[in-house]
Amino acid sequence: MIYLDNHATTPMDPRVLAEMLPWFSQRFGNPSSRGHALGWEAEEAVENARAQVAALLSVRPDEIVFTSGATESNNLALRGILEASGPGPHHVITAATEHEAVLAPCRKLSERGIRVTVLPVSPQGGIDVSELASAITPTTRLVSIMAANNEIGTLQPLDTIGRLCRERNVLFHSDVAQAAGKVPLDLQAAGTDLASVSGHKLYGPKGTGALFVRSGVTLEPLVEGGGQENGLRSGTLNVPGIVGLGKACELAMLELQGAAANGTVPLRDLRDRLWERLTARLPRIHLNGAADGRLPGNLNVSFDCIKAESLLMALDGKVAISTGSACASTGGKPSHVLAALGLSSERIDGAVRIGLGRFNTPEEIDRAATLLCEAVEHLRSLSPNWE
Which of 165, 249, 305, 327 is an active site residue?
Answer: 327
Q: Which backbone phi and psi does 187 adopt, to 5 degrees?
A: -70, -30
CB 106 within 8 A of CB 78: yes
* Cα 161 to Cα 35, 78, 247, distances in angstroms: 46, 17, 30
Based on the residue annotation, tell me whether 249 is a catalytic residue of this protein: no
Give first-to-last CA distance, the chain, whole Å: 31
CB distance 56 to 185 below 8 Å: yes
> Do residues 141 and 90 lie in contact, with contact meaning Cβ atoms separated by under 8 Å?
yes
Sorted by where each starts, the structural domains of the chain and their CATH numbers stand as 2-9+261-382 (3.90.1150.10), 14-256 (3.40.640.10)
Does residue 288 sit in helix, strand or coil? coil
Pairing assessment for the beta strands 298-303 and 194-198 based on DSSP bridges: unpaired
- What is residue 48's predicted lDDT score, i.e. its pLDDT? 98
Q: Which one, of 167, 120, 126, lies nearest residue 146 by Cα?
A: 126
pLDDT at position 349 is: 94
Cα separation, 180 vs 251, in Å, equals 12
pLDDT score of 362:
95
pLDDT value for 359: 94
Task: Give per-10-residue mean pLDDT for the chain (387 aa).
Answer: 97 98 95 92 97 98 98 97 90 97 96 96 97 98 98 97 97 98 95 98 98 97 91 94 98 80 76 97 96 95 95 96 66 85 95 96 97 97 89
- Tell me whether residue 91 is exposed, middle or buried, using C-beta atoms within 10 angstroms of its C-beta: 0 to 12, 13 to 18, 19 or more: buried
